Homo-oligomer: A and B are copies of this chain.
Amino acid sequence: MNVEIIAIGDEILLGQILDSNSHWIARKMAEIGTPVKYFSVISDKEDVIHEAFAVAYRRSDVVLITGGLGPTDDDRTKGILAKFFNLPLTFRNDILIQVKEHYKNSQLKFSDTSREQAEFPAGATAIKNSHGTAPGIWIEREGHFFIAMPGVPSEMMGMMNDFVIPKIVAKQYGPITLFRTLNTYGIIEASLYEKLDNRREIREYVGLAFLPSFNGVKLRITAEGKDKPHLEARLDRAESLIREKIEKYIVGVGENLSLEKTVGEKLLDLRNKLAVAESCTAGFLSKRLTDISGSSGFFERGFVTYSNEAKNEMLGVPMDLIERHGAVSSEVAEAMAKGVLKNSRADVAISITGVAGPTGGTEEKPVGLVYIGYADSSRCIHKKCTFGKNRTINRDRSVSTALMLLLNQLQKQDDDFELILT
């Protein structure tokens, strides 16, 4: 089954909104074994939308459309879809009742603009919107499924989970694609590639791809066919071939297995509680660690010590230490980590202090210089990192490197792991 996503909206093309919907949908479709073949983002001009529908009708079986279902007149998806499939818009009282119900529950004033949401393409199936007003639209025509959903993520996700995915699964046919992701860290892509000198044998069983990121290189293996147990066996065989060569770099298996999840599980295993102190990343590490449900089992507290006074008053870092070495120094990073242990109920502590940029750098302490500290009851270490000039990237890499250092310490591996440089 060929699956395609079309996201409609000038706000995405203008770079004002990041299209996280397509990413989410793509992951869901991959999970059910029918990965997406094409994504496109197009403007909300009628001719462009019409042309995109025509192309999608030719090349795809399932077409998932997001955006342009709202109540204002720059929302054109419903009208164009009706025209494309030659279905007249008719007034649907059942939809009106649902829309009114939603307005009532949300304590919003119902208006004439909202009333138009009850106009619906005749013969199409309305998909209930549990998180908003505009219903989704499901149209079937000669084996093609066109599914239009709102661009608001919560509304789209609700429709996908409750209605669209179960319905697609029920209609699936043809070969499926299974994949598995092996997450590595502490090694760069080119080195990993060379260590895996049995690539030819691996590729007898699966497709193999290398996916570098600041969080380590992921290896994705893919098997396509009709028989699920057979595909699983091919993935198993390929995984053991990979493990033969690079076992020690693999931190976990799973598409959604983030570094923070691996760290969290390790902390839970060890029954260790973690607390952190952050200067340049200012809460980002805490945020990442608590993205995971159940993080209260291992995360105890965080200190966002943005000012020098905060480092002194919250963590007991001596002011003269800061003055002598600077807030961005190995000495302060270690003192912060020790201060976390003293001022929390945690067993292990991580600290981050650095020059995130783009301003604030000096010759001696340039933008991108970051120190990460680690402390437990028996030891305290630090790691010096030199990243680039981009504030966002520096903060991101600081958090990832801190998580890697922590994981490394929890696994009592070699201290001096190679930093991911891709």
Contact = CB atoms under 8 A, between A and B. Distances in A.
A30 to B, nearest CB: 4
A90 to B, nearest CB: 22
A86 interface: no
A290 B283 contact: yes
Contacts of A209: 10-11, 44, 74
Contact of A13 (B26, B41, B344): B26
Interface stretch (A106-114, A235-243, A330-338, A408-416): A106-114
Contacts of A12: 23, 26, 39
A14 B37 contact: no
Interface string A299-315: 11111111101100110
A208 interface: yes
User: Which of the four size classes fits the interface of chain A?
Assistant: 35 or more
Contact of A14 (B17, B43, B179, B276): B179
Contacts of A15: 23-30, 36, 255
Nearest to A55: B55
Contacts of A36: 13-15
Interface in A107-161: 108-109, 111, 113-114, 131-132, 152-154, 157
B304 A283 contact: yes
A304 B306 contact: no
Nearest to A305: B301
Determine chain A's interface SS by DSSP, over half rule: mixed
Interface in A18-56: 18-20, 22-30, 35-44, 48
Contact of A106 (B111, B154, B194, B421): B421
Nearest to A28: B15
A39 B37 contact: no
A113 B388 CA distance: 25
A291 interface: yes
A390 B299 contact: no
A286 B278 CA distance: 10
Contacts of A301: 303-307, 309-310, 314
A84 interface: no
A124 to B, nearest CB: 23
A157 B390 contact: yes
A71 interface: yes
Contacts of A296: 306-307
Contacts of A39: 12-13, 39-41
Interface in A375-422: 388, 390-393, 395, 421-422
Contacts of A212: 70, 152
Interface stretch (A164-172, A185-193, A226-234, A264-272): A185-193
Given A283-B302, A291-B391, 20 more contacts: A10-B35, A11-B218, A12-B39, A13-B36, A15-B25, A16-B181, A22-B41, A70-B212, A106-B421, A108-B421, A109-B191, A113-B193, A152-B212, A276-B304, A282-B286, A282-B290, A295-B306, A296-B307, A299-B306, A300-B309
21 contacts: A12-B23, A14-B220, A15-B26, A16-B255, A17-B213, A18-B18, A18-B23, A19-B19, A70-B212, A72-B189, A111-B194, A154-B390, A282-B289, A283-B286, A284-B287, A295-B306, A302-B304, A303-B304, A307-B345, A313-B343, A314-B314
